[in-house]
Amino acid sequence: MATGTSDSPKQPIDTYTRLAHLLHTPPADREALLNRVYEELLTRESRAYAAGWSDALTEARRVTHHGRP
């Protein structure tokens, strides 16, 4: 999702807000900033991947449960 909204207390309300926070918080150095942004992107990518699988499994169960091919 483009805004990254979630009910999870660990995830910020808005992806852009989180990215802005990372970019405006002074890092120790440029490499530290890049590492923090990269870690955030990996975390979000992993959550999105897991959510996609969860959605796909839910849909497959729904279709199977209702007797559709």
pLDDT at 5 over 50: no
pLDDT at 35: 87
Segment 50-69, tens digit of pLDDT = 888 888 888 888 887 765 55
Query: Is 18 exposed, middle or buried, given 0-12, 13-18 or 19+ CB atoms closer than 10 A?
Result: middle
The model's pLDDT over 10-50, given as tens digits with 9 standing for 90+, comes to 554 577 787 888 778 777 788 888 888 888 889 888 988 88
pLDDT number for residue 11: 54
In which band, very low, low, confident or very high, does the pLDDT at 2 lie, cut at 50, 70 and 90? very low
How far apart (Å, rounded) are the C-alpha atoms in residues 41 and 31? Answer: 15
